[in-house]
Amino acid sequence: MQRVARRSMRSQQQPHPPPPQRPPLLQRLQPRRPLPATAASASAPMLARKPRSGAASRPLKAVEAPQVPSACGAPTAGHAHACLKHARRRGPSTVCRVAMEDETAQFDSDALAEEGEEQSEALQQLSLARHVITEEEFLPCARQLRDVFDQRFGEPRSNSPARFMWDYWHVPDQYTLIRTQAKVYFPEALYDQLEDALIEYGERQLGCRAISPIWLSYYVDGCQQELHCDNPHGPFAFVLSLTEWDVRQFRGGETMILRPGVLDYWGSLYSAGYGLEMDSLMELVEPVFNRLTVFDPRFPHGVRQVSGTKDPREARLVLHGWFTQPTPFFSGGLTAEEAQPVLDAAMQEVMDVLAELPVATGVLAVRLRVRGSDGGVDSLKFLADTLVPLPAGPDLPADQIRAGFQRVVVDALSKCVFPAGGDDSEITLPVVFE
């Protein structure tokens, strides 16, 4: 897929002609028939549509993804090429991006607000925002990884070279932990299983084709991470725990993630009638053994200070990094080359319609099931959703804005008709709004 820039709705040099008369935006975004819920998730409905011929559209110009250096001590994204060594069926290295330029967007806020009130019952979100995802018992070889760590620290008086590859990372008032690179710490065959599992998860569940280099870190007494945001590193962060949480000898160690309502405190959480405590302001995710935690790294997050043990074998022990390079992923009979022109045309339609909506930022990752018999879209499911409306928009509820974005994407993608004649296919498609 291609990166696309949202077209300006006004220009100082040459004003645009009046737009054609169309039904009200929120009316156009209503689903054409009820959306059945899936058994897997009530918040991730499936949408079946009748196929129709798609309009031709010129391909959109590709723009290479910039390489952003790490601000938190991690190697840059350029080192992630080793994570792409497996011959999976991926799309091109660029991604569906819609650049949301609020300075040039025009919309009638009063009209949109009135439509929102009139259509509020019909305009429901198709997917609830998921800024934190947990997967239990994620990795089959998790115990083997933990055994390697325990064996190397099993004898405190040992002078084995494997004990001397750790970095004590201390940034005053921000980070204190002991870390190393997982790739050089674990045996190659074992590390490959870890890397394969994370890459496959990122491709199929998030629409991300790569991961950053994986850190292995342990936290003993006094170690912590203060609140911070990892905006440039990737659209999703991950923490895979190797901590023996059920028999822990320390306090703290949970991953702290600011709850979304705190960022809209006065309009969301504040009440003169009651106070708030930690669990209302922070989501605390316990590092249970073999739990994969995936979260939106734009939200302020950190690690609660560990206290009570100085023994690495009793420490908080985690693997962590970022899912990177949002890119379509294909399985089945459809190839990336066959699908790209159709997806380009759909993204052009998304761009055109979103010019009328307020601004939002985040990722919508969707899975399309495509029939090989006629190329029509059989169903569509939301996999990951970190879409956040920005406050610069009109006075509309955030859920109404999110619902509008979702329905624009659903309406454009469900009408796609791909080349027919092969096996049924699945497309994992990340749509990045920025």
Lowest mean pLDDT among 100-109, 181-190, 200-209, 381-390: 100-109
346 against 58, higher pLDDT:
346
Query: pLDDT of 13-67, one tens digit each?
Result: 344 444 444 444 444 433 323 223 222 232 322 222 233 333 333 222 222 333 3
Is the Cβ–Cβ distance between 37 and 381 less than 8 Å?
A: no
State the pLDDT confidence band at 284, using cuts at 50, 70 and 90: very high
Tokens 């058994």 -> residue: 39
Host H or E run for residue 317 = strand 316-326
Of 15, 43, 70, 50, which Cα lies nearest the Cα of 322? 70
Could you tell me if 255 and 336 lie in one domain?
no
| Same-domain pairing of 42 and 92 | yes
3 state DSSP class of 295: strand
12: in domain: no
Helices (H), 287-397: 336-354
- Are 94 and 137 contained in the same domain? no
Q: Would you state the structure tokens that stand for residue 373, as one six-digit string?
A: 């018999």
φ, ψ for residue 429, nearest 5 deg: -120, 115
Buried b / exposed e across 222-260, counting CB within 10 Å, b at 16+? ebbbeeeebeebbbbbbbbbbbbbeebebebbbbbbbbb
Q: How confident is the model at residue 293 (pLDDT cuts 50, 70, 90)?
A: very high
Farthest CA pair distance, the chain: 79
Q: Establish if 2 belongs to a structural domain.
A: no
At residue 120, the pLDDT reads: 43
State how far the Cα of 57 lies from the Cα of 210, in Å rounded to an integer: 29
The Cβ of residue 218 has, within 10 Å, a number of other Cβ atoms equal to: 23
Q: Is the pLDDT of residue 335 over 70?
A: yes
Residue 399 has pLDDT above 90, yes or no: no
In a domain, 13, yes or no: no
Residues 175 and 183 sit within 8 Å (Cβ to Cβ)? no
* Percentage of residues in the chain having pLDDT higher than 90: 56
- Pick from 268, 295, 326: which residue ends a domain? 326
Identity at 417, one-letter amino acid code? V
Q: Do the domain assignments include residue 51?
A: yes
Q: Is 419's pLDDT higher than 80?
A: yes
Residue 400: per-residue pLDDT: 83
Answer whether residue 205 is part of any domain: yes
Structural domain that includes position 381: 23-127+328-433
Single-letter amino acid code for the residue at 294: V
Bridging pattern class, strands 236-241 and 208-211 = unpaired
**Domain annotation covers residue 4:** no
Residues 288 and 361 in one domain: no
Judge if 306 and 411 occupy the same domain.
Answer: no
- The answer to whether the beta carbons of residues 95 and 432 sit under 8 Å apart is yes
The rounded distance, in Å, linking the Cα atoms of 107 and 109 is 6
**Amino acid at site 318:** V
Poorest-confidence range of 97-111, 135-149, 318-332? Answer: 97-111
Name every residue whose Cβ is closer than 8 Å to that of residue 418 and which is 6 or more positions away in sequence.
334, 338, 339, 342, 370, 375, 376, 425
On whether both 212 and 286 belong to a single domain, the answer is: yes
pLDDT at residue 52 in the model: 30
Work out the burial of residue 173: count CB atoms within 10 Å of its CB; fewer than 13 is exposed, 13-18 middle, 19 or more buried.
exposed
Return the higher-pLDDT residue of 314 and 58.
Answer: 314
pLDDT-based confidence at 121, cuts 50/70/90?
A: low
Tell me, what's the pLDDT at 84? 29
Task: State the average pLDDT for the chain.
Answer: 77
Domain membership of residue 7 (yes or no) is no
**Rounded to the nearest 10 degrees, what angle do helices 336-354 and 398-414 cross at?**
140
- How far does Cα 58 stand from its chain's mean position? 28
**pLDDT tens figures, 202-223:** 999 999 999 999 999 999 999 9
Kind of pairing between the strands at 388-389 and 3-5: unpaired
161 three-state secondary structure: helix
Domain boundary among 279, 298, 326: 326
**CATH code of the domain in which 315 resides:** 2.60.120.620
Number of domains in the chain: 2
Residues 253 and 402 in one domain: no
Q: What is the pLDDT of residue 21?
A: 46
Q: Is residue 8 part of a domain?
A: no
243/202 same-domain check: yes
Same domain flag for 216 and 247: yes
Residues 377 and 312 in one domain: no
Please check whether residues 46 and 82 belong to one and the same domain. Answer: yes
Q: Is residue 369 within 8 Å of 379, Cβ to Cβ?
A: yes
What are the distances in angstroms from CA 257 to CA 229, 270, 273, 285, 326? 10, 19, 25, 8, 23
pLDDT at 89 over 80: no
d(CA 206, CA 107): 31
Token representation of residue 18 = 């009046």
Q: What share of the chain is helix, strand, coil (3-state, %, to 5)?
A: 25, 25, 50
Give yes or no: residues 145 and 99 share one domain. no
Last residue in a domain, options 280, 304, 326? 326
